[in-house]
Amino acid sequence: MPAIQIIGDGCAGLSLAARARELPDHQLTLIVPEGAPRQQEHIWGFWHLPILNTAAGLSHCSWKNWQVVTNEKTVVLTSINYPYHAIYRSRWTSMCKELAIAHGVKIVSQSKVASDQKAQILDTRPQPVPHGQLMQHFIGWEVLAKSGSFNPSVATMMDFRCDQSRGIHFIYVLPFSDSEALVESTMFSCDREPDEFFEKAILDYLKLCHSKQVVSVKRTEKGAIPMGLLERSDVSVVGLGGNGGAIKPSSGYAFYFIQKQISVAILSAQTKNKLMKITSPHKNIDLWMDQMFVKVLKEWPAVTPHIFIQLADALSGDEFALFMSGEACWRLRLKVIFSMPKWIFIRSFIQSLYSNFLKFKIGA
């Protein structure tokens, strides 16, 4: 029976292990890595596309409306077909673990794993982040405030009415009720600001923008997600999940892309040779567009609020959800391109062509 060893018990490792029933001809082993930092509780947000039915069913809350806000404008988008959902990490991983065990997956710690030369190894551990990498840094607080503080029918994807003095900065709000919400301060930057910067931004936002008094902070989360594909240090081992290129560079979203990558991988292993093939869940054209987008964010940070509000303004709720989930068709991609500030993107495009040309000349 072909053996598959999955290193890592995070989102990708457990999501694959949970689907062992679809791989009855394989023996799956999930290896809990040594030296890993303690996994913290956090929320995964995603738009409900068909392959996410199970996750949507387990989600804590969902919104048909979401907004992007700048000092000048607010755009509210609505989607009945693809609402935005929030699921707790522990809810998803516990369900996956239960399913994995029920379907015969062995879960072992790295020190106890027996060497199997023939096993296919899939590694979900993250790569080291190189210096100068643009990252999405954030701190989130799940807060309890006075009743009537939040509007639970609208999630806030980005609110730029916060301190912009240190780079691209916005507030993300998931209101679970009129008194409870996850409020996150997020920066797109290479270097991380101290925790106090994010915490002050959350408090300022709650007090100044909406006169909300925090009664208590129920839970905090903190993270840093690379906005770009990282080079893999060991190419002899196949990467999966974030380590397999699943994170969308322009947004840091990965939950949907991980599930998509796993669905394709399972199909590949059900074929005759039984080998699991891991492919990128992103189309090349989307990766190229993301690369241009991230380049623009890095070089022209001041225009970011304008870019996002223009994007939200140009699209319907369904289109926004599909674009963010990497499911855009050509017509939608063109709509996105035409909503962007032309001269900046044209300049970026020419620069990118030129640097690729130089690389080619030097390499040749």
Ligand X SMILES: Cc1cc2nc3c(=O)[nH]c(=O)nc-3n(C[C@H](O)[C@H](O)[C@H](O)COP(=O)(O)OP(=O)(O)OC[C@H]3O[C@@H](n4cnc5c(N)ncnc54)[C@H](O)[C@@H]3O)c2cc1C
Which of 2, 3, 22, 33 is close enough to bind ligand X by CB under 6 A? 33
Using CB under 6 A as the binding criterion, the count of chain residues that bind ligand X stands at: 30
Choose the binding region for ligand X from 17-25, 152-160, 240-248, 286-294 (rule: CB under 6 A).
240-248
Asked if 37 is part of the footprint of ligand X (rule: CB under 6 A), the reply reads yes
To ligand X, the closest distance from the beta carbon of 361 in angstroms equals 36
Asked if 152 is part of the footprint of ligand X (rule: CB under 6 A), the reply reads no
Closer to ligand X at the Cβ: 43 or 297? 43
Q: What is the spatial distance between Cα 98 and Cα 83, in angstroms, rounded to a whole number?
A: 27
Question: Which residues lie across from 145 on neighbouring strands?
Answer: 214
Choose the binding region for ligand X from 20-28, 32-40, 114-122, 302-310 (rule: CB under 6 A).
32-40
Asked if 108 is part of the footprint of ligand X (rule: CB under 6 A), the reply reads no
Which of 4, 5, 6, 12 is close enough to bind ligand X by CB under 6 A? 12
Question: Which residues lie across from 120 on neighbouring strands?
Answer: 4
Q: Which two tokens stand for residue 50?
A: 């068909």
H or E stretch including 155? Answer: strand 154-159
Closer to ligand X at the Cβ: 48 or 348? 48
Residue partners of 25: CB distance under 8 A and separation at least 6: 1, 2, 274
Residue partners of 143: CB distance under 8 A and separation at least 6: 180, 181, 182, 183, 206, 214, 215, 216, 217, 218
x/- mask, ligand X, residues 124-143, rule CB under 6 A, reads: xxx-----------------
Q: What is the spatial distance between Cα 95 and Cα 100, in angstroms, rounded to a whole number?
A: 9
Which of 221, 268, 291, 303 is close enough to bind ligand X by CB under 6 A? 221
To ligand X, the closest distance from the beta carbon of 286 in angstroms equals 15
To ligand X, the closest distance from the beta carbon of 179 in angstroms equals 22
To ligand X, the closest distance from the beta carbon of 66 in angstroms equals 13
